[in-house]
Amino acid sequence: MFTLTTSYKRPADHQRFLSQMGVLLAIIFFIKLGGFFTWSENVAITRVVKVFSRLMMTGAIIWVYRKIIERGAIGSFGWQHQLSPFLYAAYLTLGLISFLWSTAVGYSALQWFMDVESFVFAYYFIACFILLENYFPGNQVKLYNVMGNAVLLMISIFLVGMFIAPEAFYRMTHGGEEARLGGFFMNPNELGMLAAVGVSCFIFNYYTGKRMVWNTIRILLLMWAIVMTGSRSTTIGALLIAFFHIRQSSNTKLKYAMYAGAFMVIPLAIEKMVVKENAGGLEEVMSMTGRLPFWTALITEGLPQEPLFGFGFMRIAYKDFFQSVHTYAGQMTHNTFIQVLMNLGFVGFTLVLFQVVFTIRGFVQQFSKEKQLFTIGVFIPILINSLTEFGIFGETNYGILFYQVLIFYISLTINKHKSPAQKIFLRKRRPELFASE
């Protein structure tokens, strides 16, 4: 077990401000997540809602960032593990250049713009937490709680909705034999991944030992949602998250008890959610629900047409869909790395491969045990999801947003050196901090 930073008594005039910041950050992140859902079957309305809500929340997070500075903080930052954000920016730059050869520039541009927009959001979102941590020591506005609460609120809509309007919140698959939580609002696998991220966030409250009962209830609600989505990949991710955190415990008895509980759940998970006889059985699992033939066709038939630079940002063929003689037609690859290989070629694939390597290196090399466990815990479900769905380098989705948040969380740091003007500002706004400089 590790010990989180102990708090000290804050000046009374900051108490209300910090509480407001915690609520605002959670609301903004919740609405930001909502911008990735399909809330209307009308394509035009959905597109307007998505673009408008995301842009509004980026504006809102910049406003919150400025409010924190006005309260008495210096918005000056340094960098560590710079290759992670630098290579991600290089990936976006290559995507921009690919407009020159994309056969659907409008589609590529929309996808690229939304990725850049969420990249900007992630920067200011993390910047807010860094300022709060450094200029309001001991505050309880934690990234894992803010993200976890936003995720739980979103998942709660679906948990309530499946009772109120099951026809809308359930998606029937395999000829109507299987009902999966998500409906037309969200792909069940993507919804399951979101719930798994929430579990990763709330697990950190066990390290502090605070509000254990309420925390357990929140995790159980999210696990319920994972079961209802019927997502195989999320089931694997949730089990990996559990084992990952169990290994961190210093309590041997608790560790063995948690291992025993996990091993009891595994057979049920395999029977009900992995094999799923009524939904294709083991044969379907072994073919990755039909993805393996599609991936094979993409690499052997599609990739040789544009091997170096691909078909353009988020394009996997010259037309809107790729279809082989022996596979279904698809607009996306259901694997984020093959997606990059197809739309940006071997050049883009090599770029993102190194980007992921340096990002994982940043996770592992974090001096803060809290940051290390948080980043790895959140990365597990989004990486697994990336192997079978849109993923961190796929078409715009909240997996990309989470990944961008992690990139800035490991790379952005406070700049300890202050200019004369910044020192004057700090002396006027926060004399108690200036005296300790």
Q: Dump pLDDT digits (tens) for 28-68.
A: 999 999 999 998 888 888 889 999 999 999 999 999 999 99
Residue-level pLDDT at 4 = 46
Distance CA 25, CA 247 (A): 31
Tell me which residue of 114, 381, 86 sits closest to 229, measured CA to CA. 381
Confidence (pLDDT) at 418: 84
How many whole angstroms separate alpha carbon 190 and alpha carbon 204?
A: 23
Q: What are phi and psi of 392, to 5 degrees?
A: -75, -15
The token duo for 396 is 């715009």
Per-residue model confidence (pLDDT) at position 77: 94
What single-letter DSSP state applies at residue 42? -
pTM: 0.90
**CB-CB neighbours of 295 under 10 Å:** 17
Which residues fall within 8 angstroms of residue 360, CB to CB, at 6 or more apart? 379
Placement of tokens 């739980």 in the chain: 152
Residue ranges of the chain with per-residue pLDDT less than 70: 1-12, 174-177, 249, 251, 253-255, 257-259, 261-262, 264-290, 434-437
What's the CA gap between 296 and 290, in Å, rounded? 11
CA-to-CA distance for 7 and 10, rounded, in angstroms? 8
What SS3 class is residue 69? helix
Sign, CA dihedral 358-364-369-373, equals positive
> What are the helix (H) ranges across 165-251?
166-169, 188-202, 205-208, 212-229, 232-246
Residue 352 confidence (pLDDT) = 97
Farthest-apart Cα atoms in the chain, separation? 73
**How high is the pLDDT of residue 253?**
65
State the DSSP H helix or E strand holding residue 122, giving kind and residue range, or none if neither: helix 105-135
What is the C-alpha separation between 198 and 196, in angstroms, rounded?
5
Nearest to 144 by CA among 309, 368, 334: 368
- Look at residue 174 in the predicted model and tell me its pLDDT: 62
Tokens of 24: 């605002």
Tens digits of residue pLDDT in 225-253: 998 998 888 888 888 887 787 777 676 76
Classify 178 as helix, strand or coil: strand
